Copies of this chain bind each other. A is one copy, B any other.
Amino acid sequence: MDFATVDLERQARCGFPEVIFAPGKTCQWLEEIVRKLSDAGQDVLATRLDNEQAHYLADRFPAAEQDQMARTFWLKQSAVVGPQGRVAILTAGTGDLPVAQEAAVTARAMGVAVDVIVDVGVAGLHRLLKRLTEFVSADAIIVVAGMDGALPSVVGGLVSCPVIAVPTSIGYGTSFDGVAALLTMLNACAANVVTVNIDAGFKAGYVAALIAKQKTEGTGPR
Contact = CB atoms under 8 A, between A and B. Distances in A.
Interface of A: 2-5, 7, 9-10, 13-16, 18-19, 21, 23-25, 29, 48, 82-86, 92-95, 97, 113, 116, 118-127, 139, 147-150, 153-154, 156-162, 164, 167, 169-200, 202-203, 206-207, 210-211, 214-222
B113 A222 contact: yes
Contacts of A202: 191
B214 A121 contact: no
B218 A123 contact: no
Contacts of A206: 191-192
B121 A189 contact: yes
Given A3-B94, A187-B174, A197-B173, A13 B148 contact: no
30 contacts: A3-B94, A5-B119, A5-B120, A7-B124, A13-B159, A13-B160, A23-B95, A23-B170, A25-B95, A84-B222, A85-B219, A85-B222, A123-B157, A123-B191, A125-B157, A147-B188, A148-B185, A148-B188, A148-B189, A150-B150, A173-B186, A173-B197, A173-B199, A174-B179, A174-B187, A175-B183, A192-B210, A214-B215, A215-B218, A216-B222
Pick the most buried of A118, A161, A169, A215: most chain B CB atoms within 10 A of its CB: A215
Contacts of A18: 124
Copies of this polypeptide in the complex: 8
Contacts of A210: 160-162, 192
A57 to B, nearest CB: 16
A184 B93 CA distance: 15
Given A18-B124, A174-B186, 18 more contacts: A3-B119, A7-B126, A13-B157, A14-B192, A92-B189, A122-B150, A149-B184, A161-B214, A175-B187, A179-B183, A183-B183, A183-B184, A184-B184, A191-B206, A192-B207, A193-B207, A194-B196, A218-B219
A82 B222 CA distance: 7
A211 B162 CA distance: 7
Contacts of A15: 160
